[in-house]
Structure 1
Amino acid sequence: MIRVLGLAAVSVALAFTVVQPARAADSELIQGQAGTWLVAPESGAKGCRLTFGTNAVSSGYEITGADACATPLPALATATMWNFTDDGSLAIADAAGTLLMRFQQEEGSPWQSEGGNPTWLLPALGDVDHVPTAASLAGAWRIQRPDGKLVCDITLTTDKDPDGTAKMSPNGDCASEIGDLKLTLWAAEGFGLVMLGSDGSSLSFDMKPDGTFQKSEEEEGEPLLLVRK
């Protein structure tokens, strides 16, 4: 998970001492992080895009596009650099080296902050400027082949089980590849959606720029789409 630190706690102490330019051996890691990212609240509120570069500046690497954050995320409006910290976090700072936001990442999950208002750091997806929420995704959906052939109609709800995970249910008969998974729960994480079965099975989807979902590349089997009915 990502932690957002208060400016009072870091403005003097940080001086970006925890963020140093990457060694040559880390250049592949830096290159892999370069590109345009969406920083957006978990609440579904509008976020902003930042472009992470590979040119070294001060104690990190350049950030451009921060002016777009002035309204949706004013805390990032002065961002000029990014880098990885010694503990594996990703830090965003201003020209003076003051830490503005810090993110952490658990294996298999996106970069996320923690605190009063959790925030995602995700590879930009088309013109999408916010992340979906459980409430916005709830409703009737169809799992289908890319050619449109129906595989299973499902309903995603906001009702939760005792552990706090949202419930889902199939509507009628489903093809065995879905029916055999015994899917009963679902969760959204960033631009990802995962369905969970009562026997420990799961099925993951990744959001597309048009708001539909496609089966994650890590999943085995034939490609599937998840579209609203």
Structure 2
Amino acid sequence: MRMWGGVLAAILLTASSGIARAQEVSQDIVDATIGEWLIVSEDGSLGCHVTLGKEKTIGGRMVKEGNTCGAPWHNEIAAWDFAGPGIVLRDATRKEVIAFGEREVGPWVTDIERTPRIYFLPEPGNIDRAATEKEALGKWVLTDKKGRALCHITLLDSPSKRSDDSKGIRIDGDCSASVKKKVEAWQIDEIKLGIIGGEDYSYSMSPDTEGFVTDDGRFRLRRDQ
């Protein structure tokens, strides 16, 4: 994922007003921003892949919709621009559809008062929706990329012994010794499922058609039958 810290701060320094328009931004900043992004809601609904382009159009610069784009974004977004502390997406009449602010860590996000929160993720790969607690609960088997079972676990709907922010994991049978110490708790971290062990995340996973998968594809969670 791109390193975004400080990018918007540089933009704001070049703007003479509270709105930073695309024509006031250096080409380097535009070049660092163009490419594929994902609009995704924390409610787990199908997101929308879009490509931010260089070409100018009504409302800013062009946006191309990707192969996967769920409602309410389908056919709504026609342009993008820099505005205020972040990026704004507009329709063909220049009306704002949605705006995102930058943070030091994690995907860009809508205003904290918006429910559900919507995230804007650069270079999303195959991710098309956010992980949710509801879909994560239950029995799973952790496998390697070849499909070999490493550990059978249940993600519980009860607090873990680690903290009130995370939930418990029960080991349900065979579990590799190298994995046991890595599956102490779990939680939803904005759009991903985090399996926690030791002092930090052991596995950070995104939902896919078969369950959850790490960004590098080395580990998967599949429903345990």
Structure 2 residue 12 is the aligned partner of structure 1 residue 23: no
Alignment RMSD: 3.4
**2:187 & 2:103 partners in 1: Cα distance?**
19
| Partner secondary structure for residue 195 of structure 1 | strand
1:223 shift after superposition: 2.8
- Aligned equivalent of 1:185: 186
Q: Which has the higher contact order (CA 8 A, sep 6+)?
A: 1
- Aligned equivalent of 1:64: 64
- Aligned equivalent of 2:77: 79
Q: Which moved more, 1:76-85 or 1:130-139?
A: 76-85
TM-score (norm 2): 0.70
User: Which runs of 5 or more structure 2 residues have no equivalent in the other structure?
Assistant: 1-17
**Per the alignment, do residues 108 and 72 of structure 1 end up closer, same or farther by CA in structure 2, a change over 3 Å counting?**
same
| 8 Å contact from structure 1 (residues 133, 188) kept in 2 | no
User: Which runs of 5 or more structure 1 residues have no equivalent in the other structure?
Assistant: 1-15
% same residue: 19
**2:218 & 2:76 partners in 1: Cα distance?**
42
* Cα deviation code 1:193-212 (max 9, x no counterpart): 21123x42322333364243
1:135 shift after superposition: 0.3
Structure 2 residue 188 is the aligned partner of structure 1 residue 228: no
TM-score (norm 1): 0.69
1:92 shift after superposition: 1.1
Higher strand residue share: 2
**Per the alignment, do residues 169 and 109 of structure 1 end up closer, same or farther by CA in structure 2, a change over 3 Å counting?**
farther
**Per the alignment, do residues 110 and 157 of structure 1 end up closer, same or farther by CA in structure 2, a change over 3 Å counting?**
farther
1:173 shift after superposition: 4.8
| 8 Å contact from structure 2 (residues 166, 185) kept in 1 | no
1:85 shift after superposition: 3.6
| 8 Å contact from structure 1 (residues 134, 188) kept in 2 | no
Report how many aligned residue pairs link the two structures.
201
**1:135 & 1:202 partners in 2: Cα distance?**
20
| 8 Å contact from structure 1 (residues 135, 158) kept in 2 | no
* Cα deviation code 1:48-103 (max 9, x no counterpart): 4433222122563212349x97x8326x854321133453x221123454432111
1:172 shift after superposition: 3.4
| Partner secondary structure for residue 148 of structure 1 | coil
